[in-house]
Amino acid sequence: MNTEQSKINHSGLVNREYYAFRLLAEVEGIGAVKIKSLYTAFSSLEPIFSASIQELSNIDGITHELAFRVKRKFTEETDLLAKLEKEFIKLSSLGGRCITLWDDEYPPMLKKIYDPPLALYILGEIIPQDEKGIGIVGTRLPTSYGRQAAEKFSKELSEAGWTIISGMARGIDTAAHEAALRARGRTIAVLGSGLDKIYPAENKGLSDAIVRNGAVITEYPIGTGPDGVNFPKRNRIISGLSKGVLIVEAKNTGGALITAKYAADQNREVFAVPGSIFSPNSDGTNLIIKRCEAKPVSRTSDIQEEFGEEQKSIAQKKQKEAVAQNLNLFEQKIVSCLSEHPVAIDKLAHLTLFSISDCLVYLLMLEFKGVVRQLPGKMFILE
């Protein structure tokens, strides 16, 4: 056993199993599938330290040349341990941890996909409730329609007990995470970078909020930057964690369509919000609906029905909850005319027989109470 191998026994941060995984990951020609084969053959990765070239080459997919490269890596590597210890010190300082495919904590649904990440770096907690997850993804430059749709579905699904899973990118992803948090639901963000490289940087506050109400996860070790090649690959994790994926707005070449393809390959349900034929942001969603690659949805119940959930009127539920907050008669009348669909101020005045100025006063009070939310253009919905 060389010096590096003996040192690993005394490291309080990096165990031999994880060290073996990271060594293998650096061997040219070794990927996730071959690492899983090695684990299956030895019931662990640690025996690779003492395995002979012949023993390694007897494993399916491991040629004699590849076995030689593995053995050379395991006997000649001298720098990796120090690097890993620095990573784990940084990970610990962030409050994070690492789990591998073979740990009990590893998400069961993700474990079943063809190429699950062999390691996950986690801030926050993944709990059994998160198996009822729905991915919501879309363009980084949404229209107001797309943002509103993402918020509506995310909020209502959160209220129905679903965990919202997305990529914390600008646009639709951010809108979905934020709506879930406003609904006091759980949400999981999957990064295309290390946990110390939150991207985009302006979402650091959002990341902190998600950690308190779910988890921020990645397959990339500490120090990995947000390289463009990482993001398409991370999309398989979003779909892998989800029972289904909702595409809100996407162009024909959008990354959200990659997530939709991963979801289909993983035998997950794929949903899409139909969009305007005049909006390039809806070209992708309209296309996958046209090709029957996604089920068109316009209401949360469209998604719930696919999973056999009992339907309830979300609007009626919200109205009852609002009335229970000791609203006065004028406020109750305003609430009775609102739902999850935006209502313009002039229409609200017409329905309530109040003046517009009186309506705005009551609406302001309802906003303070967290019952109503104002959208651009003096439109209002139940919060």
CA angle at residue 227 from 225 to 231, to 5 degrees? 115
Within this chain, do residues 241 and 355 fall inside the same structural domain, yes or no? Answer: no
Of the residues 306, 339, 355, which one is the last residue of a structural domain?
Answer: 306
Task: Show pLDDT as tens, one digit a residue, over the chain (383 residues).
Answer: 344 443 344 345 677 888 888 999 889 998 888 898 899 899 989 898 889 999 999 998 899 999 999 999 888 877 888 888 899 899 999 999 999 998 888 999 999 998 899 999 999 999 999 999 999 999 999 999 999 999 999 999 999 999 999 999 999 999 999 999 999 999 999 999 999 999 999 999 999 999 999 999 999 999 999 999 999 999 999 999 999 999 999 999 888 999 999 999 999 999 999 999 999 999 999 999 999 999 999 999 999 989 887 544 455 555 556 555 678 888 888 888 887 778 899 988 888 889 999 999 999 988 888 888 888 888 898 87
Q: Is residue 105 part of a domain?
A: no
Which pair of structure tokens corresponds to residue 241? 């964690």
Range of the domain at 334: 314-382
Distance, in Å, from the CA atom of 215 to the CA atom of 122, rounded to the nearest integer, reads: 7
Are 33 and 172 part of one and the same domain?
no
Spell out the SS3 assignment of 216-246.
EEECCCCCCCCCCCHHHHHHHHHHHCCCEEE
Please check whether residue 101 lies inside any domain of the structure: no
Instruction: Report how many domains make up the chain.
Output: 3
Can you spell out the DSSP letters for 76-116? H--SHHHHHHHHHHHHHHTT-EEEETTSTTS-HHHHTSSS-
> How confident is the model at residue 315, as a pLDDT?
53
Q: What is the CATH number of the domain that holds 302?
A: 3.40.50.450
Which residue in 192, 176, 178 sits closest to 133, CA to CA? Answer: 176
Two tokens, residue 56: 């390694």
Residue 142 belongs to a domain: yes
The CATH number of whichever domain residue 71 belongs to comes to 1.10.150.20
**In angstroms, what CA-CA distances link 365 with 328, 332, 373, 377?**
11, 12, 11, 19
SS3 381: strand
Both 190 and 258 in one domain: the answer is yes
Instruction: For residue 298, tell me if it sits in a domain.
Output: yes
pLDDT computed for residue 223 by the predictor: 94
Does residue 100 sit within a domain?
no
Give the integer Cα–Cα distance in Å for 192 and 174. 15
Sheet with 97-100, edge to edge strand ranges: 97-100, 119-124, 214-218, 187-190, 163-166, 133-137, 244-247, 269-272, 295-296
Vertex 248: Cα angle to 246 and 249 (nearest 5)? 140
Nearest to 120 by CA among 30, 215, 17, 26: 215
My answer on whether 138 and 182 are in the same domain is yes
* Amino acid 318: pLDDT: 56
CB 286 within 8 A of CB 260: no
The pLDDT value recorded for residue 10 is 37
Question: Would you give the DSSP letter of residue 26?
Answer: T
215: closest CA among 95, 114, 68, 362?
A: 95
Report the alpha-carbon distance of residue 348 to residue 232 in Å, rounded.
Answer: 44
Taking the whole predicted model, whether its pTM rises above 0.95 is answered as: no
Could you tell me if 271 and 323 lie in one domain? no
34 and 144 in a common domain:
no
Which strand ranges, in their side-by-side order, compose the sheet holding 372-375?
A: 343-344, 379-382, 372-375
Domain boundary among 65, 82, 99: 82
Q: What pLDDT does residue 157 have?
A: 96
- Predicted confidence at residue 122, as pLDDT, reads 96
From CA 304, how far away is CA 281, in angstroms rounded? 25
Query: Residue 343: which H helix or E strand, with range?
Result: strand 343-344
- Do 184 and 272 have their domain in common? yes
232 with 172, same domain: the answer is: yes
CATH number for the domain harbouring residue 357: 1.10.10.10
SS3 assignment for 304-341: HHHCCCCCCCHHHHHHHHHHCCCCCHHHHHHHHCCCCC
Q: Are strands 343-344 and 379-382 parallel, antiparallel or unpaired?
A: antiparallel
34 with 135, same domain?
Answer: no
C-alpha separations of 163 from 145, 188, 210 in Å: 23, 7, 11
